[in-house]
Structure 1
Amino acid sequence: MYHIYCLFGLIILANICFIVVVTPVAAAEDENMEKISTLVPVFISKGGNIVERENAEIRLPCEIKDLGEHAFMWKFNTKFLYVGNLTIQQLNGVEKDTSSNGIIIKRLNNDLTGIYRCEISSNPPRMIQYNVSMHTAPVIIPNPANKDNKVVVSQDQPLVLHCNIATSSSLLPTTFQWKHNSKVIELNRTEFVIQTTQLSDAGDVICEARNEIGSRSHTFKVIVQAKPVITLSEQIVHGPVGTDVEIKCMAEAYPFANIEWYYNSNQPIHVSSKHKIVNNMNEHSSTLTIFNVGPKDHQDYFCLAVNSLGEEKAYFAVTGRPSKPKFTSPKVSHNGDTYQLEWVTFSQPPIKNTTLRVREIDHVNGQPGEWQIINVEPTVSDATAMKTREPRRRQTYMLENLAQDKSYEVDVAVANDFGTTKSDVFVFSTSDFTSADAKSLGMNFIMMIFMFLLISVIA
């Protein structure tokens, strides 16, 4: 850099020497030379901020009034490019504008963005500056910003996430989209706020910013500090004598929880020939297996999850009672006035009795109707199961005389020698297409086929 300024100085010194040498020879020009030497250069070009798309051509003028014998030079950031018409360092993609004192950026790219200065060798030196930048996809400045992108918030406290855009990429219209675990939750806001954070709010919260150039995103990994919340695979575990049963206990918590197993009120369960415990750290769960279930194993159990913020228990029972019935029939009937219910349960002993309850959800003025109680006899499949050790029991029941285009709720309770188990409520809807409509449509279709064949024969 030192030799560049020496060159710039030599040009200035040469101009001064030229004036000193010619003065005695050309006395007639004294007045004009004095005017030239005392002229103060003035920039006509103003400089400024320039933002263009990639590959655009940009002209940077450096028009100067009354340059006189002064010299000028161009710099890019800290690099010297030109002094007058002399090239000091050739920058790939930048050319001297031969028709003026300016320069031309032929094809803008990231390497050619920065600060361009045109300087005059006046005293004091003068210059204009161009700040050249390129339109890009939005550059996101997240807040809070951490190396691992983790954001830790306590349960019931507010969560505030910001998705700001860098000034260099904010000149184009930008749209925003927020997602939580891949589900869209907010549109066109730079801020995402949850007033009372719950465990369900944990996970990946993604901010995506988009403009006409492209898009970028940032992922906040939200961690909610809370005492454990337990989910059991089953609360009533059907354990036929002589079989193995398995129960999974999942503990959602941060810090992560330790899980322990107990039976008979407060007796800890340890790994043995009777019990196996498998802990899965990735899904924060523990699975208990009880081998060769006997009558003594039919009792109450619980899993206990503990972290530094608290603890939680979840109770379940291993029993000979049927497992909780699950409905397998479709949620919409094919005939408006009838509907065939189907459910499945597991029971090693035969199902002794089944009680079904059904009612219309919106019967009168938004109020549900009265429950209808129906006692269901064992179906053929269940009767067959009674003769085998197969514990899967499938039952069906046809509901008739239903209102068309209505919603109903139903539950079922099944009982064997060990006790009764009740299902969750199941909701289904009827259509406005009745079995009579189906018969009529079928007859009409047959008549159309018959007429078509008759016409074909006659033709």
Structure 2
Amino acid sequence: MEGGWLVLAAVLIAARAQNNRISVTDDGPRFLSRGHSYRAVVGDTLLLPCQVQNLGSLVLLWRRGPAVLTAASLMVTRDERFRLVDGYNLQITDVGPQDAGDYVCQISDRISRDQVHTVEVLVPPSVRASPESKHAAARRGGAAVLECRASGNPVPTVTWHKLNDTNTRLGEGPQLQLSRLERHHSGRYACTVDNGVGPPIVTEFQLQVLYPPEITVERSWVHTGEGFRAELLCTVHADPPAEVGWYQNSFPLSASERITMSARGNNHTLLIANVQPEDFGNYSCVADNSLGRARQHVEVSGRPGPAVFTSPPLARRAASYLLAFAVDSYPPLDELRLLYRQLAINESFQQPGRWHDVVIPAPEPAGSLTHRVTHELRGLQPGAVYEAIVQAKNRYGWNEVSDIFQFHTLGGAHTAHADELTPMFAAASKNQLAYCVILTALYIMNALA
């Protein structure tokens, strides 16, 4: 480096001596190019012009800050990425972030005229993720923090999304903070880092929310019959994954010729083929993992299913109504009970009347699962609203009481429309329904006695 400076000094001394000999009548040197601001992307090749007229024997320097890069055609810098092309134009190859700054092309006369080029180096985005494994785990109710520290020029933006069906946008900034975690927070998250230089960078994270098992059953009551099959289904969500087992009356079940247990994803199925009397009873779907245990119950029963009313809510006559309903039962039905009453309705309240108890003869065996029953109610009041419930019995016992069904007879000062019956049904109080259930239970106890 010392030798370079000696050469530079000699060149400058010779140039100044020559400058002193220039006649004052000669035209002085002047720049043909102009100073400019340049933007270059990392890795590019950049050309900084410096064109001078009437330079004569004067020396042209390229400087960056206090450092001299070239003197005349002499390369002072040892950085091989710099060179002079087509005269005194300075070329920089493989531009890097360290090359940003002001570059000065200077005429070494007494005036020291110069031309300044400003270089801004555009740097594509880069990102540092935390956790580095890009996998985070936290317990339900806890919190998790995902981080994308971005760098680049211009300063990149960071946006967060959850990678699901809708790619939900969650916010901006280097951190994504998630609190009060629930099961649905589990999944893939992504930060997108972009500053317009090069393609955006997408970094994906996997968030695992740990929680004890949660069980839902497709049906809490499964209706079947001897010689038929019963299928019980429970859906289990858990992380860590749970071990799932089936129990009958608190005793663990094992696979056999008639009992099959299978799983597909979160769905666990217990299939009982050729049902026998001992198969009726209470079953449990039980799931365990390191965070806890969950249990849901399913009853397998031969009792009839709840009655479903099929008759329209508006009667065709003023004093009678043909009530129709369907009951599912594998064995023949032994007995049917119907309770109905009139509702006295005015603008402000409903006042129910007394219940009428009717024993309906059991229908002939249907030869199919569904038994369809019709029964005509007579002696009704014209233009009145009634409600009814039904219960059925087979050799395994009574079924659950049906939902309340409301119907309206023709005639009277006011004729209801179908849309008027719906609010009446919704307004039936729980106390009334509980009264129905209690009353029906008393009938059952009397019948059994």
TM-score by length of 2: 0.53
Matched, 1:305 2:296: no
Give the match for residue 245 of structure 1.
Answer: 230
Question: Percent of counterpart pairs with the same letter?
Answer: 20
Q: Using the TM superposition, give the Cα deviation of residue 236 of structure 1 relative to its aligned residue in structure 2, in angstroms.
A: 0.8
How far apart in 2 are the matches of 1:422 and 1:144? Answer: 59
Letter in 2 for 1:101: N
Over 3 Å counting, the alpha-carbon distance change for 1:171 and 1:287 in structure 2 is: closer
Bigger Cα Rg = 2
Over 3 Å counting, the alpha-carbon distance change for 1:14 and 1:113 in structure 2 is: closer
How far apart in 2 are the matches of 1:159 and 1:372? Answer: 60
Give the match for residue 258 of structure 1.
Answer: 243
How far apart in 2 are the matches of 1:45 and 1:327? Answer: 91
1:211-222 equivalent positions in 2, closer than 5 A: 219-222=204-207
Give the match for residue 210 of structure 2.
Answer: 225
Alignment counterpart, residue 68 of structure 1, candidates 41, 54, 59: 59
Over 3 Å counting, the alpha-carbon distance change for 1:274 and 1:79 in structure 2 is: farther
Give the match for residue 348 of structure 1.
Answer: 330
How far apart in 1 are the matches of 2:308 and 2:180? Answer: 35
Over 3 Å counting, the alpha-carbon distance change for 1:64 and 1:218 in structure 2 is: same
How far apart in 2 are the matches of 1:209 and 1:372? Answer: 72
| Structure showing the higher helix proportion among its residues | 1
Over 3 Å counting, the alpha-carbon distance change for 1:383 and 1:318 in structure 2 is: same
Give the match for residue 89 of structure 2.
Answer: 101
Structure 1 counterpart SS, 2:207: strand
Structure 2 counterpart SS, 1:200: helix
TM-score by length of 1: 0.52
CA contact (8 A) 1:160 1:194 kept: yes
Letter in 1 for 2:285: C
Matched, 1:279 2:266: no
Q: Using the TM superposition, give the Cα deviation of residue 415 of structure 1 relative to its aligned residue in structure 2, in angstroms.
A: 3.9
Letter in 1 for 2:85: N
1:23-102 equivalent positions in 2, closer than 5 A: 29=18, 50=39, 61=48, 68=59, 70=61, 72=69, 80-85=80-85, 101-102=89-90
**What are the superposed Cα offsets for residues 170-197 of structure 1, whole Å, 9 maximum, x if unpaired?**
568x8x5644743576554446544322
How far apart in 1 are the matches of 2:303 and 2:153? Answer: 68
CA contact (8 A) 1:45 1:61 kept: no
How far apart in 2 are the matches of 1:203 and 1:326? Answer: 42
Structure 1 counterpart SS, 2:275: coil
Instruction: Structure 2: state its 5+ residue gaps.
Output: 23-33, 63-68, 107-115, 311-323, 375-382, 406-416, 420-449
**What are the superposed Cα offsets for residues 76-122 of structure 1, whole Å, 9 maximum, x if unpaired?**
xx983442227xxxxxxxxxxx7x735599xxxxx978554687899
Alignment counterpart, residue 130 of structure 1, candidates 119, 130, 142: 119
Matched, 1:151 2:136: yes
How far apart in 1 are the matches of 2:137 and 2:392? Answer: 48
Over 3 Å counting, the alpha-carbon distance change for 1:156 and 1:327 in structure 2 is: farther
1:356-367 equivalent positions in 2, closer than 5 A: none
Q: Using the TM superposition, give the Cα deviation of residue 250 of structure 1 relative to its aligned residue in structure 2, in angstroms.
A: 2.6
CA RMSD of aligned residues (A): 6.4
Structure 2 counterpart SS, 1:133: strand
Instruction: Structure 1: state its 5+ residue gaps.
Output: 34-43, 87-97, 106-110, 329-341, 396-400, 403-409, 427-433, 437-459
CA contact (8 A) 1:230 1:251 kept: yes
Structure 2 counterpart SS, 1:230: strand
Q: Using the TM superposition, give the Cα deviation of residue 301 of structure 1 relative to its aligned residue in structure 2, in angstroms.
A: 1.3
Structure 2 counterpart SS, 1:80: coil
Letter in 1 for 2:89: N
Alignment counterpart, residue 270 of structure 1, candidates 247, 254, 261: 254
CA contact (8 A) 1:305 1:313 kept: yes
CA contact (8 A) 1:144 1:151 kept: no
1:414-425 equivalent positions in 2, closer than 5 A: 415-417=392-394, 418-421=397-400
**What are the superposed Cα offsets for residues 390-438 of structure 1, whole Å, 9 maximum, x if unpaired?**
359899xxxxx99xxxxxxx99876442332478999xxxxxxx899xx
Q: Using the TM superposition, give the Cα deviation of residue 260 of structure 1 relative to its aligned residue in structure 2, in angstroms.
A: 1.4
How far apart in 2 are the matches of 1:253 and 1:307? Answer: 7
CA contact (8 A) 2:153 2:195 kept: no
How far apart in 1 are the matches of 2:201 and 2:403? Answer: 45
How far apart in 2 are the matches of 1:46 and 1:244? Answer: 86
Alignment counterpart, residue 319 of structure 1, candidates 277, 285, 301: 301
Letter in 2 for 1:196: R
Q: Using the TM superposition, give the Cα deviation of residue 140 of structure 1 relative to its aligned residue in structure 2, in angstroms.
A: 8.6
Over 3 Å counting, the alpha-carbon distance change for 1:47 and 1:159 in structure 2 is: same
